[in-house]
Amino acid sequence: MIAVRVVDTGGAGGLMGTLAELHLTGDKLDIPLAAQWKYRIAAIFPSSYKPGPNTYATQLFNAMLNPLIPYAIEGAIWYQGESNAGRAYQYRKTFPLMIQDWRKHWGYDFPFLFVQLASYNAANGDSRRGSTWGELREAQTMTLQLPNTGMAVTSDIGERSDIHPKNKLDVGKRLAAEAMRIAYQKPGVSAGPQFDKMTIDGNKVILTYTNVGSGLLTTDKYGYLKGFEVAGADHKFHFAKAEIQGNSVLVHADSVSAPVAVHYGWADDNSEANLYNREGFPAIPFRTDTWKGITEAAKFGEQ
């Protein structure tokens, strides 16, 4: 009989790791531990903040938000989503519902600004393996359908190996630009190009955008656009060549003779994406297809 005491301060709980990692070793000893274990809860921390505030239903709302509801506010800024990436499809509903619930409690549609997930190599996700972070960014973009909402895109200022990128200044500037537009009705461009429609011409795809400002540009000194991929009816994506033509982008891949879908910045780490408007705001990552993603069946509590 082997007894193990586990102290969980967060995460899913229990014995964590792959089956190959679960074994007890010593001198001339190697006992595999990958099996069904019996368990009992020995104690619960007196403070629920030790295992993590998200593990207790309604705690965040009751402790941190509800006491503020009697007070007037000008708006809200939201920077979250990483822990929901495994359930990104669900975020399409939960995120807008949360915004609507807050506004219902305050009694008016106050401005709600949020930061889209920055570039980060969460799990090597991309168009071939699927990207939970790509799908979460898509859910965030869809939330812009709510009135008085704005989003700061941060694909270009994330860090591949650090989930907390150091560049907070540009995040603040981009949020401030959206705040000036939404909260204070100041004219001007406050966000980057957003995909509008796709036209197929032979083996080429023409993409048009809104929010082009005074024009499209790329930060690459040679003028190369990066981050675009093209797929045919087989759903297999290939890296694509792209170029700016006026306020449109022409995309094609030599290996795809009949394109049907385009991805842009569709990866956990999408820092290569380099399309901007001349006002300096990065384009919003997107996909043109509606093919089933890898998070569509995930439910609450799953990653």
Instruction: Please check the confidence at residue 303 and state whether its pLDDT lies above 50.
Output: no
Q: Each residue of 237-278: pLDDT tens digit?
A: 999 999 999 999 999 999 999 999 999 999 999 999 999 999
Which pLDDT score, from 0 to 100, does residue 211 have? 96
Instruction: Please check the confidence at residue 64 and state whether its pLDDT lies above 80.
Output: yes
Q: Each residue of 187-236: pLDDT tens digit?
A: 999 999 999 999 999 999 999 999 999 999 999 999 999 999 999 999 99
Cα atoms found within 13 Å of the Cα of residue 60, Cβ hemisphere only: 8
Q: What percent of the chain has pLDDT over 70?
A: 93
Instruction: Please check the confidence at residue 47 and state whether its pLDDT lies above 80.
Output: no
Question: Could you tell me which residue, 47 or 44, shows the higher pLDDT?
Answer: 44
Q: Each residue of 132-190: pLDDT tens digit?
A: 999 999 999 999 999 999 999 999 999 999 999 999 999 999 999 999 999 999 999 99
- Number of Cβ within 10 Å of residue 113's Cβ equals 23
Name the residue among 303, 285, 282 with its Cα closest to residue 294: 303
Name the residue among 124, 15, 138, 126 with its Cα closest to residue 84: 138
Name the residue among 181, 182, 213, 211 with its Cα closest to residue 196: 211
Instruction: Count Cβ neighbours within 10 Å for each residue of 119-129 and write b for 16 or more, e otherwise.
Output: bbbbeebbbee
Residue recorded with tokens 């000893």:
29
Residue 22 banded pLDDT, cuts 50, 70, 90: confident
Residue recorded with tokens 């170029």:
243
Residue 45 banded pLDDT, cuts 50, 70, 90: low
Q: Each residue of 108-134: pLDDT tens digit?
A: 999 999 999 999 999 999 999 999 999
Lowest mean pLDDT among 1-10, 40-49, 252-261, 277-286: 40-49
* CA 117 – CA 115 distance, rounded (Å): 6
- Number of Cβ within 10 Å of residue 149's Cβ equals 19
Which pLDDT score, from 0 to 100, does residue 14 have? 75
* CA 204 – CA 227 distance, rounded (Å): 16
Question: Do residues 293 and 130 touch, judged by C-beta distance below 8 A?
Answer: yes
* CA 91 – CA 95 distance, rounded (Å): 5
Phi, psi (degrees; rounded to nearest 5) at 284? -80, 130
Which pLDDT score, from 0 to 100, does residue 53 have? 59
